[in-house]
Amino acid sequence: MDTIATIRHSRATFPGEALRPSGQRGFVGRLVRVVGSLARCIGHLLERRRGRLALLEMTDDQLKDIGISRCDAHREGIRRFWE
């Protein structure tokens, strides 16, 4: 196997995502990418929700420090996680 072929086959970024000799990813590779993408998306949504819940737990002085009123914090805190 020459050097170029070795480099081409060792570029997988996820387990099971190795390129086929034709240069196409297999079903498992695509599935790994989709699941990884979905997991990152859910992680972002949960992080956003945790931030909104933290606003609800802040004191009036803490909210004043960041320039948010209690009303604004409450409005933001009760929003659904996908908004």
**Confidence check: pLDDT of 72 > 70:** yes
- pLDDT tens readout for residues 6-20: 555 555 555 555 555
Query: Which pLDDT belongs to residue 54?
Result: 94
Helix-helix angle 27-57:70-77, to 10 degrees: 150
| pTM for this entry | 0.59
